[in-house]
Amino acid sequence: MKWLLFYMDGDEIDRDPRYRLEYEKHYALVFTQYLIHLYGKYKPLGIVHISGQDRKKIPTYAVTIGHFQDVDTEIDYEACKRKNVTVIRRVGVGGGTIIGGPWLAQHIFVCDWSREENKKLFPDLDTAFGKIGQLTVRAYQYLGVKDAWYKHIGDVKVGLENRKITGFGFTTIANFLMMNQGINMGKPDLDYFIDVIRVPEEKIKDKPYKTIEEYLYAGMTSIEEEIGRRPSIDEVKDALIRAYKEVLDVELVELEFGEEDRNFWLDLYEKMEKEIGDKQIFMVSSSRRFSSIPEGCTLNFARYKGRKLVAAHVLVNKDGIIQDVMLSGDFFCKPSEYIGRIEECFRGLPVEAKDLMVERVRKIFSLNGWEAPMLSPEDFVKPVVEAGLKALKKVSNR
């Protein structure tokens, strides 16, 4: 089976005089549109994208937040602007915050899930996670990281110390299955980002670290730290090509990126800047969702971490009735728009009605096509109840 490979190693876009750094916040949207464009042009079974900054004259620093993450609780947006750190929200792909710079390689694929060959390859999300976990481990082994191993769901670790070297997530767009992954070729510049990202304490409750700082500095690793040197993006590409063939039996055929492609990107960047601005970034935003609190109501917040982290902002009136709920977190699910239906399950219920909440959310979980790996209805209900009870106590002075 053959898929196409779209490879970028530096300045394919930003060497053009039309390019502006502020366009980078639209990267996920423009990239998705470009993949759709390639599908229409070549009609392949799948497309793999690998990119890095090896030949980029001015490095780009970015934080990429998951599709379901609350921009206001996960990062300090004003600090990002002060430090010229671009903020990008992934399209449909869940997971946590990724910091990016010249040390990071990007690995993305999209395949037509309606095609029989791809459905056999990835019959469901759980299988897809497992196979890409195997593929990633094999690529790391080719690069010299011999003790890499996969931890379900979506993490690749190194050694007995469980140091995280990469994570990845999936989404679905129409008939397409898309995977997004960042690969730390070099040691991340954590000092530059430490006052930009906000990692909740709940994130480390099941990990052997006492503080967030210890988790970030001791719990993360890179290829450079494991083998003593930083590989080039070309080496990463070659390792992934081999891994695709060995693990998935998929041969990657490289496309040439030309002037027509560059103009496609820049035309879209200009259009997105004009028509969308920062709307994609603030698609999930507690400050904008709850910019005005009705009289007699109180807003509160809670997190719960089972296998994945789920957060809830809950608006409650003085009678203890839930008026609104915003769910966020580093989880994965499809269809992504069903999160809105889960939020709707809580509206109008008393904050103590836990059993009824679970019953309603379970109905969403039973819908055809719904997948939420490592999540249960209770994982959504628990933070809603906790935040709701805190809000009720505050609004009623109990």
* Structure token digits, residue 324: 């609104």
In the numeric block, the tokens 């670290």 are attached to: 209
Q: Hey, what are 332's tokens?
A: 């994965």
Asked if 179 and 130 touch (Cβ cutoff 8 Å), the reply is no
Cis peptide before 322 (omega within 30 of 0): no
DSSP string over 19-87 = --GGGGGGHHHHHHHHHHHHHHHH--SEEEEEE--TT-SS---EEEE-TT--HHHHB-HHHHHHTT-EE
What are the structural domains, with CATH classification, of the chain? 2-283 (3.30.930.10), 290-396 (3.30.390.50)
CA 155 – CA 98 distance, rounded (Å): 13
Task: Tell me the pTM.
Answer: 0.87
For the beta carbon of residue 56, count every other beta carbon within 10 angstroms.
Answer: 18
Q: What is the pLDDT along the chain (398 residues), one digit of tens a residue?
A: 999 999 998 788 988 999 999 999 999 999 989 988 999 999 999 999 999 998 888 888 999 999 999 999 999 999 999 999 999 999 888 888 989 999 999 999 999 999 999 999 999 989 999 999 999 999 999 999 999 999 988 899 999 888 999 999 888 888 899 999 999 999 999 888 988 999 887 776 777 777 777 777 778 899 999 999 999 999 999 999 999 999 999 999 999 999 999 999 999 999 999 999 999 999 999 999 999 999 999 999 999 998 889 999 999 999 999 999 999 999 989 888 999 999 999 999 999 999 999 999 999 999 998 989 889 999 999 999 999 999 999 987 75
